[in-house]
Amino acid sequence: TSQVCVSVASCVKELIENSLDAHSTRLQLTFIAHGADLIELTDNGDGIAEHDFEKIGLRYHTSKLSQFEDLENVNTYGFRGEALSSICIYADVTILTRHASASIGTKLIFDGEGQVISRTPFPREIGTTVSIRSLFNRFPVRRTELQSHSKREFSQALNIIQSFAIISRQIQFFQVSSSADNHPPSHPLLTLTPSSSLKDTLAQIFGQKILESIIHIDDNNDDDENKEFKFDGYISRPQHGCGRSSADRQYLYVNNRPIDCAPFLRTINDIYRHFNPNQYPLVALSIEVLDRSTLDINCTPDKRTVFVEHLSNMCDQIRLILNKLFESSSNVYVSSNKRQQETIETNNDIPTPPTKQLKIERFVKKT
């Protein structure tokens, strides 16, 4: 359990998931010292009911499942009851919350075992604020490592934030503020407002210029009744200059859940690099698995790894879609070496420029 939240990014992921599961529409994230001193999320969700106060910090306690069979049809991001317990081990945790059934909010302070050690009335609106202070303070070696690489840790956390902002249509306002030192941030780093489409959200996150270099992935016109998957999203155009030098902006979602799937991403990158060999695409792709019995999301504690029974079929389907999309977009096609050789042989009458010959000499040290 203690290995669920082992970085700034994993803590941020768990906080955002809890907020979205509580039907929040407004989220505000604050970081001090890139998250080493403070990670704080404030939302306007349902709040925490009083009868759950003593349980929320304990291992394997969750209010999102009521019976074992609920695991077969999980509709929430969280359900394992491990995150807050793990965070309490590594940091000082304080929660300010008010449920709709309460007339006033409550301030809860937890110890390293997830037990409530202080409970006091605290005025606030309906919603919850979770504050994580001094991450890894009880583990000096990890604390030193975090402080040494705090900028990299925050960059990974920002990537997680962006992945949720892209897919979560329920979010009406999302603000992120951060400071590199131990002073409170002076201005927001990222502010997102309601958008009507995925394309608009991508423009808010990555800038309006991104719209010129992406193309829509859409297979809704496919009337195959036996189709197992539906795809919807955006990918960089295959022309040179539209992609990126690294695969740092690639977001996959299965049934609206952010996931990691190396074989599927490898398929996408291989296809793209057939058309644009020197770059990687920006990808924001939502995949709907139509038969949920072929999908397992309860594979790892962070719930980022999923098992898809017919993964090879999913890869084949996106391969066909992207090849067709890129061929029509770039007016080029990828030919085999054999076809290229045939083309050269049938065009022998076309003069070719002389090949520049390079003379290579071996230099021997004179004695």
pLDDT at 317 over 60: yes
- 355 in helix, strand or coil? coil
Q: Closest Cα partner for 5 from 130, 96, 148?
A: 130
The per-residue pLDDT for 208 is 93
**Share of residues in the chain with pLDDT > 90 (%):** 54
Using CA atoms, how far apart are residues 99 and 80, in angstroms rounded to an integer? 22
Mean pLDDT rounded to a whole number for the chain: 83
Beta carbons of 84 and 35 less than 8 angstroms apart: no
The per-residue pLDDT for 52 is 86
The per-residue pLDDT for 28 is 95
Q: Closest Cα partner for 185 from 6, 19, 28?
A: 28
Beta carbons of 190 and 200 less than 8 angstroms apart: no
The per-residue pLDDT for 347 is 45
Domains by residue range for the chain, with CATH: 8-192 (3.30.565.10), 198-330 (3.30.230.10)
**Share of residues in the chain with pLDDT > 70 (%):** 80
Cα end-to-end span (Å), the chain: 69
Helices (H), the chain: 8-21, 83-90, 140-148, 150-167, 198-206, 262-275, 311-330, 337-345
pLDDT digits (tens, 9 = 90+) for 116-165: 999 999 999 999 999 999 999 999 999 999 999 999 999 999 999 999 99
Confidence at 63, pLDDT banded by 50, 70, 90: low
The per-residue pLDDT for 343 is 40
pLDDT digits (tens, 9 = 90+) for 265-314: 999 999 999 999 999 999 999 999 888 888 877 666 667 778 888 999 99
Q: What is the mean pLDDT of residues 196-221?
A: 89
Confidence at 169, pLDDT banded by 50, 70, 90: confident
Using CA atoms, how far apart are residues 113 and 85, in angstroms rounded to an integer? 7
The per-residue pLDDT for 77 is 65
